[in-house]
Structure 1
Amino acid sequence: MNHDEWLAEHFESHRPQLLSAARRLLGSGSDADDAIQDAWIRISRADTSGVENPAGWMTTVVARVCFDMLRARRSWQYVPGGDPEPVADPNEADPEQRAVEADLVGVALLVVLETLTPPERLAFVLHDVFGLPFNEVAPIVGRSPAATRQLASRARRRVRGAEHEAPADPMRRAAVVQAFLAASRAGDFQALLDLLDPMAEARSDAAAVSMGSLDRVHGADAVAEFFSGRARAAKAALIDGHAGAVWSYGDTLKVAFLFTVDDDRIVDIELVADPARLSAFDVELVEA
């Protein structure tokens, strides 16, 4: 058996698991089929010489494709009847347990699609449902393993009913972001530290880096130092319904600040300046 035949055989043997992952991440059978086709093209062209776990590696490729598809959408809305049917795994040893998990994932999908960002969706589904370790999920969503763990933890609490969000919760997250912006403008280092998770991370896309931002800053001290005295022109905003901030030049949006807040602490800040991504955001300025 040559390499191409070996790769095709592994892909077909793992197709049920890969299709299940894509359908749960995207919530659409047709989109999942497209994702699997795209993933196969990437897989067939990849160097597999260092691959020790074909199933895990292929799941990661599919997840990257799904993540790109989710990020490309201007908005994501659950359509009644769009909840994916469970895909049977012929190698599953405990069908009854799998059925229970499938029911849980169905509920999780509805909650995730309606309330979470693509990184939060992937962190939860890939780790909790498909067992990928956080150090493998982190590169897919562009977060540190610690931040990825926080994203999954937040989604998990919602799914399991430990966190019932009241209307005040989004307001609380918005208050955290606004307090962070105020501390940043004032250069209040200690106030910034108090608002940051110890493992907080700030990241900038290539466009933001070209404007003078740092590529990646890790740890509360470093993030606080990076933002201290800055963000003077940034304005609080809702970005795709989530608390964030924006900086504009005239009427042109230049930078979006995406915040991930968990337990009233900021765990992740992403600076986005890429025009294509900025144009896809639904931005609404809010008063302090």
Structure 2
Amino acid sequence: MHADQQPQETFQAHRDLLFSVAYRILGTAADAEDAVQDAWLKWSGADRSRVADHRAYLVRIVSNLALDRLRSARVRRESYVGPWLPEPILTSSDAAEDVAAAESVSMALLVVLETLSPLERAVFVLREVFGFSHAEIAEAVSRSEESVRQAAHRARGHVRARRPRFHADRARQRQVTERFLAAASGGDLNTLLELLAPDVTVWTDGGGKVHQAMRPVTGAAPVATWFATLGRRPYQGVEFDAMTIEFVEVNGGPGIVFTGAGRVIATMVLDVDEQGRIATIRSIANPDKLGAVAARTVHPVKPAR
């Protein structure tokens, strides 16, 4: 039976790609899943006999749906309580082959993409991450090829100016992450100060649902002092000793998942600078953003084209 007579099989074959596109445009797994589900409804009801390239057609559908969702999400995020961080996802990748793909789904890059306009973000994702041509993107987002070229140029310059200049190798990042957690849980202030960059910044996202810092915390001394008490106080009603702490791949790199009392409590991702010191810590504890991690769904950072 031809693929266009099997809409579900064709859709499933491209599902990872569609989620990857939608997630990078939206920054939230829940909205990306909704966009993929809406794409299925459009695809299943479409006249597929006239579709020559199923993959391009599906990407066009999900890109437009994600763009529509992003425009409304931007308004909601303006009134978000405290810092807004992307929704974390569990990922799997081959570190030797997927460095660029892993970086494209990193918290660091997704935070930068939040500063682009919805069109610039969609164009950047489709062009720089998935390698679509300007002509293909123009058709996908219903714009002229020239306007897509201009948006791509603006987005590239913006991202280049703001993305981290250095990417630590995975083994080094994992080692630093493990040392940091050991020092924090043991209240080892000296080791924490040694591990932290002088201008380290901590971003915590509780969304007003759980207690988190309402503004970023900056500087080695205050950050070290804050984390040195981690093992001595309960968090969200759970004693530190009663938590399960896992080192897993979060958004393309080493991360930490804290669970306790039958739920995911928080995720944490650390960025390391060229001196091997921790430059940024991002912790997400808003329970509305932990569904994808709690579901244990693992997404490839480099879905098949």
Q: TM-score, normalised by structure 1?
A: 0.48
* Higher relative contact order (Cα pairs below 8 Å, separated by 6+ residues): 2
Q: TM-score, normalised by structure 2?
A: 0.46
